[in-house]
A and B are shown apart, each in its own frame.
Chain A
């Protein structure tokens, strides 16, 4: 045993009633290593870390920290012992400055209990300099970038002198430019003797950053391997249990006529903020146009304006020559297939049955669902339709009468994709269609998107994942503060250029 700082032995966690999230996992983490935990969504990697951190009570097994058995009942106990976790969602107070956020809950005080602001600020500054974090301690957290906020989260833990850091998908919120900097900082922390456990499903960065990699699949540990001696393909095989093609094949063909078109599209929100500013965008038949951008730069408003959830303040939206700017939603749905980013909120009703979710929109557009002149819903046809969808899109389901929430994320997305594709509409709007899916499901969605292109539909794909856009899109446009700041065929641009436009807008390239 070489300096194992943490040993997990036979950890079991069952979410009631019977979801075995972590299935008898034993793994150990060494002092001074970066240890990646990889696996598909639902493989149990987050749960395992939460068990270690004391956020989720375990049902079996032992945890040894510095060779002593420990049992954290809440996060505070873990932090006091020296283990800290940075969550995917950033939990800071935007109105406070960086140093205020960092000392919050453990402020240095003077004799009467007042916060010793000068000392607090100095202590934070010391930590920033010690780890070369390149942060201004007096900046307001609400005004700094997501990457900087993440650093604040990490510093918060370092300020509390933790020696083990758990990071849950730290790169998910970062742009390509910001990732190397984070990796540099994590590397320095390791050299300083910290242990870093980091959850990810991006294999490339796992290989560049970590020393060892533990692969999980369906709650079980598959193996722990040295990062130096493994490869992306081997890790992917261990994760999904079979070979995966990480590059989908696309056939070349020339796009046809213009199907989707916006002219001078603008939108101001209730508080008068210009969320969309003079958007001119076209999508042709058989073409995939990717919309890139840091989240919150108007992509969501663009999607909502197209499907009819918000009324633009100016401009027009046309599909197949028809002006739908003010059309009711059902009219739009004759022309538009829509896969929203939030499955549970916009794409489905989680408590309704799979069947009831599968027939939405079809029930009013397709006459086969009607009996008695549209008064009755033909449930026999609905059952046949759902069976057909299940087969055609290979959905794994126990029964179509079960609630939609009983499906895994990937299968939920298959039902939604299937429902929308079967609408046979000319224009397909995809908003982050692979968000939160595992590698196998992502691959499936990608194939379906390319199939839509081959079927000569016009596809508008909004995605926060640049690699996905470069893999699928024929043209990439970039949104920045409500404007389109770049529009070029995928062959004439690069990951770096698009990343730069996402951050800097129209400004001159460096």
Chain B
């Protein structure tokens, strides 16, 4: 437990040092870069609010990947489920008109439904034809990509716009801000809480976890592996869909081209860095959001291109994942040597 925190922190520090070295090679002053990164991501209420808001899609898709991987199913369809969730929420917001609180609730549910259906399609193909969800979810990402592109350039296009996008959704479905902070953050916190509760307190969560660790044992113990597979796919699909819906409702209030960006893939990456831990996913999601948010501001006041944030992210992933095991191995070996000396004496 203690080691997890120590190795995570050491990994982050090591990655920042390596990043500094790369910047020095490029002729930048790493101290300036890091100061700017910090200033525009965490240095004040307004930057903090932006970082938190940007963390929402990362954390939610990260949770989706973490829960799927920890339970066994290789759901790599977060990008597609994200887009379908966004599309469902948008279309709902265009045609359903309700009082604000109800409207928000309906759109959130629609977003989750969209993601769940898209993941459920992969689950169905697995159940009927034993097709690997690994391949199917990846392929469905492409289909979702082109399907949503068609939807916003065809049936739902805003005729007055110059590029493919939908009109704005009913303002009743816009997520309001409290001070600097957008309420989308509350949904993220609630989602983390619900995920933790389901995963650690529900009977289904117990079966998911044990199936993820040893599926044969869980099966012999009477767990219904097929039912659990389908429910994990639906649950994680809904999480990714929710991320897409919230992004629309908090931000541009419409589905515009390139909306998904890299959020979902970053989420998968965060799940891997967090070793599928739920709380770790929240923390790393926030951290990566800080780097991405800070990089945009940094570009304004320094000559450093914001792409340096991608270099930093790559280094972070490599170093954290590598150091997780390395630290344990090193500590264990040292302990073994100490013991051996004690015995031989």
Q: Which A positions have Cβ atoms within 8 angstroms of B?
A: 10, 12-18, 20, 23-24, 59-61, 307, 309, 328-330, 333, 338, 340, 345-352, 356, 360-361, 363-365, 369-370, 374-377, 379
Could you say which of B254-262, B303-311, B335-343 contacts chain A?
B335-343
Q: B216 touches which one: A345, A350, A364 (CB < 8 A)?
A: A345
Q: Which residues of B contact A356 (CB under 8 A)?
A: 206, 209-210
- Are A16 and B332 within 8 A (Cβ)? yes
In the bound assembly, the distance between CA atoms of A14 and B210 in angstroms comes to 31
B2 at the A/B interface (Cβ < 8 Å)? no
Q: A365 touches which one: B204, B206, B222, B329 (CB < 8 A)?
A: B222
Known: A18-B335, A60-B344, A349-B214. A307 touches B203 (CB 8 A): no
In the bound assembly, the distance between CA atoms of A18 and B343 in angstroms comes to 11
Least CB distance, A385 to chain B, in whole angstroms: 13
Known: A16-B336, A338-B220, A352-B209. A375 touches B343 (CB 8 A): no
Given A352-B213, A360-B210, 18 more pairs with CB closer than 8 A: A13-B340, A14-B343, A18-B335, A20-B339, A24-B344, A59-B336, A60-B340, A349-B217, A351-B213, A352-B210, A360-B218, A360-B222, A361-B222, A363-B207, A365-B222, A377-B201, A377-B202, A377-B205
Q: Which residues of A contact B339 (CB under 8 A)?
A: 14, 18, 20, 59
Q: Which residues of A contact B335 (CB under 8 A)?
A: 16-18
- Are A347 and B217 within 8 A (Cβ)? yes
Known: A17-B332, A59-B337, A349-B210. A363 touches B216 (CB 8 A): no
Q: Which residues of B contact A330 (CB under 8 A)?
A: 222-224
B221 at the A/B interface (Cβ < 8 Å)? yes
Which residues of chain B from 254 to 282 have a CB within 8 Å of any chain A CB? Answer: none
In the bound assembly, the distance between CA atoms of A361 and B333 in angstroms comes to 38
- Are A60 and B219 within 8 A (Cβ)? no
B331 at the A/B interface (Cβ < 8 Å)? yes
- Are B220 and A17 within 8 A (Cβ)? no
Nearest B residue to A19, CB-CB: B336
In the bound assembly, the distance between CA atoms of A376 and B207 in angstroms comes to 11
In the bound assembly, the distance between CA atoms of A293 and B189 in angstroms comes to 59
Known: A17-B331, A17-B332, A345-B216. A333 touches B343 (CB 8 A): no
- Are B203 and A329 within 8 A (Cβ)? no
In the bound assembly, the distance between CA atoms of A348 and B220 in angstroms comes to 10
Least CB distance, B212 to chain A, in whole angstroms: 9
Q: Which residues of A contact B343 (CB under 8 A)?
A: 12, 14, 20, 23-24, 60
- Are A376 and B210 within 8 A (Cβ)? no
Known: A16-B336, A20-B339, A346-B220. A375 touches B214 (CB 8 A): no
Q: A12 touches which one: B209, B224, B344 (CB < 8 A)?
A: B344
- Are B220 and A376 within 8 A (Cβ)? no
Known: A345-B217, A347-B217, A348-B214. A12 touches B222 (CB 8 A): no
Q: Which residues of A contact B329 (CB under 8 A)?
A: 16
Least CB distance, B3 to chain A, in whole angstroms: 11
Nearest B residue to A377, CB-CB: B203
Q: Which residues of B contact A12 (CB under 8 A)?
A: 340, 343-344
- Are B221 and A361 within 8 A (Cβ)? yes
Q: Which residues of A contact B209 (CB under 8 A)?
A: 352, 356
What are 21 A-B pairs at a CB distance below 8 A? A12-B340, A14-B336, A14-B339, A15-B336, A17-B336, A23-B343, A59-B344, A60-B344, A61-B344, A340-B220, A345-B217, A346-B216, A347-B217, A349-B213, A349-B218, A350-B214, A351-B213, A352-B213, A356-B210, A360-B210, A375-B202
Nearest B residue to A13, CB-CB: B340
Known: A364-B203, A364-B222. A18 touches B217 (CB 8 A): no
In the bound assembly, the distance between CA atoms of A348 and B213 in angstroms comes to 10
Main SS class of interface, B = helix
Contact with A along B187-215 (1 / 0, CB 8 A): 00000000000000111111101100110
Least CB distance, B106 to chain A, in whole angstroms: 25
Least CB distance, B174 to chain A, in whole angstroms: 34
In the bound assembly, the distance between CA atoms of A363 and B210 in angstroms comes to 12
- Are A18 and B210 within 8 A (Cβ)? no
Q: Which residues of A contact B204 (CB under 8 A)?
A: 375
Contact with A along B9-21 (1 / 0, CB 8 A): 0000000000000
In the bound assembly, the distance between CA atoms of A17 and B335 in angstroms comes to 5
Nearest A residue to B201, CB-CB: A376
- Are B222 and A376 within 8 A (Cβ)? no
Nearest A residue to B206, CB-CB: A377
Q: Which residues of A contact B332 (CB under 8 A)?
A: 16-17
In the bound assembly, the distance between CA atoms of A60 and B340 in angstroms comes to 7
- Are B220 and A329 within 8 A (Cβ)? yes
Q: A363 touches which one: B203, B333, B337 (CB < 8 A)?
A: B203
In the bound assembly, the distance between CA atoms of A141 and B220 in angstroms comes to 36
- Are A18 and B202 within 8 A (Cβ)? no
Least CB distance, A430 to chain B, in whole angstroms: 14
Known: A16-B333, A350-B214, A352-B209. A309 touches B220 (CB 8 A): yes
Nearest B residue to A347, CB-CB: B217
- Are B336 and A18 within 8 A (Cβ)? yes
Q: Which residues of A contact B216 (CB under 8 A)?
A: 345-346
- Are B203 and A374 within 8 A (Cβ)? yes
Nearest B residue to A364, CB-CB: B222
Nearest B residue to A16, CB-CB: B332
Q: Which residues of B contact A364 (CB under 8 A)?
A: 203, 222-223
Least CB distance, A296 to chain B, in whole angstroms: 20
Q: Which residues of B contact A369 (CB under 8 A)?
A: 203
Least CB distance, A341 to chain B, in whole angstroms: 12
Q: Which residues of A contact B224 (CB under 8 A)?
A: 328, 330
Contact with A along B307-345 (1 / 0, CB 8 A): 000000000000000000000010111011101110110
Q: Which residues of B contact A347 (CB under 8 A)?
A: 217
In the bound assembly, the distance between CA atoms of A346 and B210 in angstroms comes to 12
Q: Which residues of A contact B219 (CB under 8 A)?
A: 309, 329
- Are B222 and A348 within 8 A (Cβ)? no
For the complex of A and B, the 8 pairs showing the least CB-CB separation, nearest first, are A59-B340, A16-B332, A330-B222, A60-B344, A360-B221, A17-B332, A349-B214, A17-B335
Q: Which residues of B contact A340 (CB under 8 A)?
A: 220
Q: Which residues of A contact B340 (CB under 8 A)?
A: 12-14, 59-60
Least CB distance, A300 to chain B, in whole angstroms: 13
- Are B203 and A376 within 8 A (Cβ)? yes
In the bound assembly, the distance between CA atoms of A362 and B333 in angstroms comes to 39
- Are A363 and B206 within 8 A (Cβ)? yes
